[in-house]
Amino acid sequence: MENMESNTPPQTQPIPPDQTPSSASKLLNYILTQYSTRPPGSVNESLTIAQLRGEFQKVCDTVEEEQYKYPSYLTPFKWYFVSIYFIGLMVSGIFTPLGMMIIALLGVLIYWVIYDIQFNFIDRILPGTSTLNLFSMINCTDLEHTATEKTLLFVGHINDMRKDSGVLYHLTAKIMHFAVYFFALVVFVGYIVGLFTNNYIVLPAVSIASTVVLFFVMTLYFTGKKNRVSGLATAVCLTQLAQQVKESSVSLLDSTNVGFLVTTNYNERHSGIRAFIRAHSKDERLKPEKTLVVCLDELDDSETLTCYKREGFIKYSTNLYNLIKDAAESEGISIGNVANYIHQPFSFAEEFGWKYQGVVPITAKCRSVKRKAREAKEKEAKDDVGVICIHDDQIKCINDTTKLLWRLARVIDNSAEGSKIPVKTIPLPKPSIEQPTNFVGDSPIVL
């Protein structure tokens, strides 16, 4: 915390205690207001963390700040590294077959270690930036628990998300990922065959193909605009859910521990989840066989709530999805279930999927049509590309997700070892984020 607070811009002052937001809506508005007062490109994680920590401390039994280090330069420089790799293949294929094979094998090894396997030791041996995870729990006042207790872990983040990079962006990333490995394999086989036949005709072909792929990779440099609401919305949703769980008038979660994890790394939320799993590998509160994990990937459109049933080689829990679907139906909320084969990178639920079986990511990406309509209204509100606006549908998305997760918590708490129960008979209070006074229809709030 000390390192991060030292980076706080001098013009940004902490909110006085008597003005602390009393609702999640005000919390979201306040955090985004601080964004708008910062110089472009500056980051003030400490202010956001302090506000979220204060909200969780009001209702949770334990609130832990878990520091970890991550190499912040790895992900932003990924496309540059890949470009150098393809340039190396392109140039070496013209001059030296042996050099091309060395570049191919060395490049694919580095790519595999850093960006695919992402070994834990990389975060430890490389210089990096200090940040932290915010981990809170209800119904869990000590670390010693019986094996019969269940834990329901809700996970959010405060990442700035892409507004809409489109299918072309993700398809290009997929092609690039495949080409890194495929070209290395072709170069290796082509070189071995060339040693015996003295014919390296395959290698120039790879060189030409690398030129084509390099052209597409260069399009990935343009990351587009950031959506500062959809990532923060996941954390705000968890603060509201925690408040509802704690203030429930019924006897709630008598045999279930409820946890809330917010990874606060703006640049790479996957590394925050890996650090959390590493730190809690022997935590009795988070046994893989007794823990269900719901990850909020993005909350931006109330009409596109979706669960991923799989991402790559990771297959998520069908039983947990069925419980989520039943909870959504009881609340009149529509939720889909799709497989994610194209979008890269995968949601951070992938990190949990390697260890925990009961994992489901929930996302609500904004549709292109709605996004364009929002941008038009934002432009009318203020002719400034850096303006930050909150739309009423974004607030509705937070409210709907909170109601859904609240219902899910009751379902899991009342279920016998995860079996389904009739969720429509469960009484449910209906607190929600209060709409700010300057909401008019779908008009954005300019901060």
Where do the domains of the chain lie? 2-70+128-164+225-446, 78-118+166-221
In the prediction, which pLDDT does 10 show? 32
Pairing of strands 256-263, 129-138: antiparallel
pLDDT of the residue at 172? 78
Whether 24 shows a pLDDT value over 70: the answer reads: no
User: Across the strands, what pairs with 314?
Assistant: 311
Q: Is the pTM of this model over 0.85?
A: no
Question: Greater confidence, 311 or 44?
Answer: 311
Query: Is residue 288 within 8 Å of 151, Cβ to Cβ?
Result: no
**Residues 316-332 pLDDT 10s:** 999 999 999 999 999 99
Q: What's the rounded Cα separation, in Å, for the pair 147 and 130?
A: 34
Is the pLDDT at 90 greater than 60, yes or no? yes
**Rounded to the nearest 5 degrees, what angle is found at the Cα of 165, between the Cα atoms of 209 and 394?**
165
pLDDT tens column, 377-408: 877 766 555 556 778 888 899 999 999 999 99
Q: Which of 8-12, 29-33, 102-106, 180-184 has the lowest mean pLDDT?
A: 8-12
DSSP letter at 443 equals: P
Residue type, 31: I
Residue 320 three-state SS: helix
Among 13-27, 167-181, 274-288, 402-416, name the one with the lowest average pLDDT.
Answer: 13-27
- Computed over every residue of the chain, the mean pLDDT equals 76
The whole-number average pLDDT for the span 242-256 is: 72
Alpha-carbon distance of 138 to 136, in angstroms, equals: 7
User: N- to C-terminal Cα distance for the chain?
Assistant: 27
Q: 108-137 burial, b for 16+ CB within 10 Å, e for fewer?
A: beebeebbeebeeebbeeeebbebbbbbbb
* Tens-digit pLDDT profile for residues 151-210: 899 999 988 776 655 566 667 777 888 899 999 999 999 999 888 888 888 888 898 898
**Position 39 pLDDT exceeds 50:** no
The yes-or-no verdict on residue 419 having pLDDT over 60 is no
Please check the confidence at residue 242 and state whether its pLDDT lies above 60.
Answer: yes
Domain 2-70+128-164+225-446 has CATH 3.40.50.300: no
284 C-beta neighbours (distance < 10 Å), count: 14
As given in the structure block, the two tokens for residue 306 are: 């979706």
Q: What value does the mean pLDDT take over residues 335-358?
A: 84
3 state SS of 386: coil
| Separation of alpha carbons 158 and 45, rounded Å | 9
- Rounded-to-integer distance, Cα 104 and Cα 257, Å: 49
According to the per-residue pLDDT averaged within each range, which of 122-126, 340-344, 396-400 is highest?
396-400
Question: E strands along 183-232, which residues?
Answer: 226-227
122-136, 267-281, 432-446: least confident range? 432-446
What's the pLDDT band for 22 if we cut at 50, 70, 90?
A: very low
Tell me, what's the pLDDT at 186?
A: 92
DSSP conformational letter for 262: E
Distance, CA of 261 to CA of 137 (rounded, Å): 9
Judge whether residue 147 has pLDDT over 50: no
Judged by DSSP in three states, 222 sits in coil
| Mean pLDDT on 90-109 | 89
Average pLDDT over residues 58-82: 84
Burial class from Cβ neighbours inside 10 Å (0-12, 13-18, 19+) for residue 379 reads middle
